[in-house]
Structure 1
Amino acid sequence: MGVFLLKDQEKSKVQLIAELKRLRQRILNLEMSEKKHKQIENALRESEEKYRALVNGASDAIVIVDENGNIFEANRKMEELLGYLKGDLIGKNIIDVHPVDELKRTVAAFKDIIKSGEGVLYNAFALAKDGRVIPVDITGSVVRYSGRAVMQGIFRDVSERKASEERLLASKKRYHLLLDALQEGVWAIDEHSNTVFANTHMAEMLGYTVNDMIGKHAFSFISKEYIDFFEHKNEQRKKGIKERFDLGLVKKDGRTIYVLIESAPIFDDEGNFRGSIAGITDITENRRIMKEYVKSEEKFRNIFDKSPMGIFQSTIDGKFISVNPALARMLGYGSAQEVISSISDISRQIYANPKQCEEFVKIMRMKPDAARFEGQFIRKDGSVWSGKLTIRIISDENNIPHHLDGFVEDITKQKETEEKLKQAMKRLSMLSRRLLEVQETERRHIARELHDEIGQALTAVKINLQAVERAGNKKSTMIPIQECIRVVDRLLQQVRNLSIELHPSILDDLGLVAALRWYVDWLSQQSIMKGSFVTNLTEERLSSVLELTCFRVAQEALTNVVRHARAKNIIVELEKKEGHIHLRIIDDGVGFDVANARADAIKGYSLGLLGMEERISLVKGFLELKSVIGKGTEVNVILPYEKNKNITR
């Protein structure tokens, strides 16, 4: 201070005043500078306090680290996020709060933020005190704190978001699995008709993989002739219209398939058109089947309309659904439509006897697949005609009868012919019966004549010759007489045999049992074979027709054995069993081919077999022939039992 005063003394008064002013101004400036500095310090202190308050009140976790990554500040949310107290966090390095496998990525992001001043690290992970790994998004920035540059890190816990994303992803996977599991294709395109989704079935339908389809324009898969049609339908989607339509698609190998599309539009929240999604069903096979069905239907309609047989469908309660022209003609109507409109009750208007319809219904219930029967029906003009019906009951999916399908054949002429044939056969049968009766009468007469007249005459001749033989004594006359006697003996025996074969009187006098027993014994005596007769019948007499039929059949069969079989043994069995007479003739001869024998009989080469069959058929009997070459023959005859009614032979 003394130095200044000495100097001031050397200066002039003016200079001193000027210097004094400068000093005062300098002092004033210093005082102003000090005041501003204090204001700045107070503002900075207030700003840092507000920053701390903001950090501590933030909803996100915040840490402040230095340029080396050491934490020197953390808010309460950071404590809550990592489970540390603030005092435990201070001094830790950022590598201590991140998983090991995230360190490389975290350190690189830290350096980038230091260099650029800011940055964001998405899908990062923080390491909690208890070892939990917490998904976070980190926003970093370089800020000044307490007068120096530091890095602020804002940690946002995205656990809920991650969980939601995982749930959404799982939902999408389940949705895609569901779409892939569908037995129909699913195809989605955007507003530009580019493919944005296709399920596996859709891709396989076209011979592609899903990845092959994604991004490709819809036209890549649509048959050329359907392009304009598809564009028109796509315009309908833009208007919000859902539709169902057929479309031709081209497979990867160039083949065309046909699909049924059920398409719906897609709009965003603002109502903007974003494309469409469709369910796709391959109907190529269905179309082929439908075409075949149409062809089949045309063939059926052609058969239906042109068939000479009547064809119809009717309801279960008896009303025609459809009728072909042939049935309309059978019923006497001009057209099928006239039949349908005119007949409301088939049983009452068509059947000549409604009760017959009821019987037919019973048959149909027993044979629902195909019931066949014949009946009489009424034409429009009232005349009656005969028809043969085949009717099938058609049931619905619940097996409930729905309608009837039927075929009708006009058999009026056939019935008339059958009736004429029946009458002719009846007349023929009567004539055959009468012929056999006449034949038997004539045989009986001839047999009687042979026995009574010729036999007696031959006997008389023989007696006379014998008398001459006894009276004569010349040797020259004895030899011719003896020869004549021998001839007469043979002739007399032949007459007796003829009489027996034509009609044995024992049949008339004693009946069938006695006649067969005698005849078998007589044949045994006449030939080298051994015969036996077995019966369970008593001596009761059967009807003359039945006795004669049995005897003649046995006679013919035994005669054939004697002539052709070369048999050593023969058995004749006669039984009454279950209301029938059973005649069986068995031999151990050489046998024969039954089929050939029947064929020869039809050709007229074997009248014996035809005669047997004719006699048996006249009494409504049954004949069975069994024969094995080298092992013999068996003849079985079954005749209806009938007692004697004293019918004249």
Structure 2
Amino acid sequence: MTFFMIVAKRHTMEFFNIGLENVREPAMTIRILLADEYQMARQGLRALLEKEVDLEVVGEADSGPAVMRQVQDLAPDIVLLDLALPELHGVEAIRQILAVSPHVKIIALSIYADRRFVVNILKAGASGYLLKDCAFEELTKAIHTVREPKTFISLGLADIVAQDYIEALRDSEARFRTIFEATTMGIALVDKEGRVVEGNPALQQMLGYSQTELVNQVFTVFILPDDASRCKALFRELVQGKQDSYQVEKKYIRKDGQTAWGRLNVSLIRAAKVEDHLAVCMIEDITAQKQAEKAIRAYQEQLRSVASELSLTEERERRRLATDLHDHVGQILALAQIKLGAIRESASSTHLVEPMDEVRRLIEQTIRYTRSLTFELSPPILYELGFEAAVEWLAELIQKQHGITVKVQTDRSAKPVNDEIRVILFQTVRELLVNVVDHASAKNIRVFISREDATLQVKIEDDGLGMGISTDAANGPSGFGFFSIGERLKYLGGHLEVVSEPGWGIRVTLQVPLQY
């Protein structure tokens, strides 16, 4: 028989013998509700209880509904419950009473001595079982026992009920032993000092130790030194009863010195005596899971890098096209405008003046379109005057083209950022503003640019239709557009926050680290 079984059996025997011990009379008055169909029986119980100075009968009930009302109205400490009560009786009566008053103690009164019946009543939640023919001899002892709180069983029933529980315990031990030996999860029984009492075959394989080598080892031997103090503190809180269980994911050390990841669940099994408490430690090897998570994080970082590089490549290409338009197409058009003006001045025929003026107007319009396209492709102001000036230019452009009021506020503090952050942040702001114009039906947009400690923060708010935002801790706001923006900002060391409700507009906050 294992140590675990011995502790459980000793606890069981104490459980059933406790009603035979002398108990100390409590100093406080115990409030009692009598529940029996027959008035004569209630009078007899009351007469017996009124002889005790620390017992007070606060009410009587002759039916199930009456018991339920008085339990709620009188809040007794103990209910003496006749199991044959009309309208609500037996197991169901106990369950309903405990449902409305979980802390009340119920002592069941019955003439039945069948062990299966007694066991079912105790399993339903009764704190004591008293045979009616023994009530006058054992009643006060039963009341004081259940207030300990312990379980009381009439003297004539204790042995047969204990035997039933012992048989059930043997079956339970057999099932536990089967699970303990066959499961692929590592299981250890640990005493209150943190020493291993027993480890199952799966644990032996995980750690590389034999059963003999495991026994009496302190569990911190298998934990990395940096994690040992925290694990000791958690275990100490468990043993002291400050928590019933805890879970941690930590690396553990094998006998050969290699490390692996484990998910540890620790629960306390309380015995009758504190020194007999045991902890059940279940360890799941999650090394493969951690390796997969590490690989996924690496892939995610690579994807963010690719997304950022694509954005920068796009901006470089935009800037090259804008430069070509400005330096070549724009210059050629300007030169054509000048030469055409010179030809017009020297033309001898007046009938050519009007067609030449028409051509000059077309060239001038083309120059304006070229200049506008140059700015839209890659505004030179972004590189010459910085991010804030570029956003102000973009706001003016949107207001002019779409008739939406766009106000930009900035705290004018220094915000040093490198070209990578400047470009990606400007692209993000432009993308968000275009989305507002296309989809939000907004009349006003506000952009706030500020420095918050070592970060650059941009807030964009509108008074448009708003939207339902679905957010989870891992992926942020739903929708590919927000996802793409969030991934780009994560690559820069920043983050995205979106707040919106239908009909209340939307607020988007971007944060990126400053560069010195």
With the length of structure 2 as denominator, give the TM-score of the two structures: 0.61
- The residue number in structure 1 matching 2:254 is 379
The CA distance in 2 between the partners of 1:291 and 1:314, in whole Å, is 26
Q: Pick the aligned partner of 2:445 from 561, 567, 570.
A: 570
> What does residue range 401-420 of structure 1 map to in structure 2 within 5 Å?
402-420=277-295
2:400 paired with 1:503: no
Residue deviations 1:321-371 (CA, integer Å, cap 9, x gap): 1222221221235xxxx32455432457533x3453233212434574333
Q: Which amino acid aligns with 1:513?
A: E
Q: 2:263 corresponds to which residue?
A: 388
Which of 188, 192, 196 does residue 316 from structure 1 map onto?
Answer: 192
Distance 2:377 2:167 in 1: 78
CA distance in 2, matches of 1:607, 1:205: 65
Whole-angstrom CA distance in 2 between matches of 1:528 and 1:614: 32
Q: How many residues align?
A: 376
Q: Does residue 1:350 correspond to 2:350, yes or no?
A: no
Residue number among 439, 450, 469 corresponding to 2:325 in the alignment: 450
Cα distance change, pair 349–590 in 1 and its aligned pair in 2 (3 A): closer
How big is the shift at 1:395?
5.4
| Equivalent residues of 2:301, 2:491 under 8 A apart | no
By how many angstroms is 1:520 displaced?
1.4
The yes-or-no answer on 1:617 pairing with 2:493 is no
Counterpart CA distance in 2 for 1:395 and 1:254 is 30
Unpaired runs of at least 5, structure 1: 1-172, 182-203, 207-249, 261-277, 645-649
What's the CA shift string for 1:416-470, capped at 9, x where partnerless? 3233333333433333333333332222222212222222223334444555566
Aligned equivalents of 1:472 and 1:630: distance in 2? 67
Amino acid at match of 1:359: R
Q: Which residue of 2 aligns with 1:360?
A: 231
> 3-state SS of the aligned residue for 1:280?
helix
Which of 211, 224, 227 pairs up with 1:339? Answer: 211
- Between structure 1 and structure 2, the one with the greater Rg is 1
Q: How does 1:250-289 map to 2 (within 5 A)?
A: 279-281=155-157
**Which residue in the other structure is 1:306 paired with?**
182
SS of 1:327's equivalent? Answer: helix
Query: Of the candidates 225, 244, 268, which is equivalent to residue 369 of structure 1?
Result: 244
Cα distance in 2 for partners of 1:256, 1:387 equals 44
What secondary structure, in the 3-state scheme, does the structure 2 residue paired with 1:418 have? helix
By relative contact order (CA 8 Å, sep 6+), the higher-ranking structure is 2
Rounded to whole Å, the distance in 2 between the matches of 1:366 and 1:488 is 83
Encode CA deviations 1:283-325: one digit per residue, 9 max, x unaligned. Answer: 6766665555555444433332332211111123343212222
Rounded Cα–Cα distance in structure 1 between residues aligned with 2:369 and 2:276 = 78
Distance 1:540 1:293, change over 3 A: same
1:568 maps to a residue whose letter is: K
- Structure 1 residues 613 and 394: alpha-carbon distance in aligned structure 2, compared to 1, 3 A threshold: same
TM-superposition CA deviations, 1:174-196 (whole Å, max 9, x none): xxx79xx9xxxxxxxxxxxxxxx
> Residues of 2 paired with 1:571 and 1:252: CA distance?
80
Give the Cα–Cα distance (whole angstroms) in 1 for the partners of residues 480 and 324 of structure 2: 26
In structure 2, how many angstroms separate the alpha carbons of the residues matched to 1:514 and 1:256?
85
Deviation at 1:574, TM superposition (A): 0.9
* Cα distance per residue 1:66-99 (max 9 Å; x no partner): xxxxxxxxxxxxxxxxxxxxxxxxxxxxxxxxxx
Structure-to-structure mapping, 1:129-208, within 5 angstroms? none
How far 1:410 moved relative to its partner? 1.0
1:326 — aligned with what?
A: 202
Q: CA deviation at 1:572?
A: 0.7
Distance 1:365 1:493 in 2: 77
Q: Matches of 1:412 and 1:300 in 2, distance apart?
A: 27
Aligned equivalents of 1:489, 1:296: Cα separation in 2: 94
* Aligned residue in 1 for 2:507: 634
Aligned partner of 1:523: which letter? I
Structure 2: state its 5+ residue gaps.
Answer: 1-43, 53-81, 85-109, 120-128, 130-153
Mark the CA change 1:252 to 1:519 in structure 2 (over 3 Å): closer, same or farther: closer
What TM-score, normalized by structure 1, do the two folds share? 0.49
Q: Percent identity?
A: 28
SS for the counterpart of 2:229 is: helix
Say which of 459, 464, 483 aligns to 1:584.
Answer: 459
> Within 2, Cα distance between the matches of 1:602 and 1:498?
33
- Report the secondary structure of 2:197's partner residue: strand
Q: CA deviation at 1:594?
A: 3.8
The CA deviation at 1:407 is: 1.2
Alignment partners' CA distance in 1, 2:415 and 2:287: 49
Counterpart amino acid of 1:632?
A: G
Letter in 2 for 1:546: I
User: 1:622 touches 1:637 (CA, 8 Å); kept in 2?
Assistant: yes
Distance change (3 Å), C-alpha of 1:568 and 1:342: closer
Counterpart of 1:541 in 2: which secondary structure? coil
Q: Map of 1:19-58 to 2, 5 A cutoff?
A: none
* Maintained 8 Å contact 1:393/1:401: no
Q: What is the rounded CA distance, in whole Å, between the counterparts of 1:631 and 1:381 in structure 2?
A: 61
For residues 265 and 456 of structure 2, the distance between their equivalents in structure 1, rounded to whole angstroms, comes to: 40
Q: Following superposition of structure 1 onto structure 2, how do residues 532-547 of structure 1 map, counting pairs within 5 Å?
A: 532-547=407-422
Residue type of the alignment partner of 1:319 = R
| CA distance in structure 2 between the partners assigned to 1:567 and 1:252 by the alignment | 79
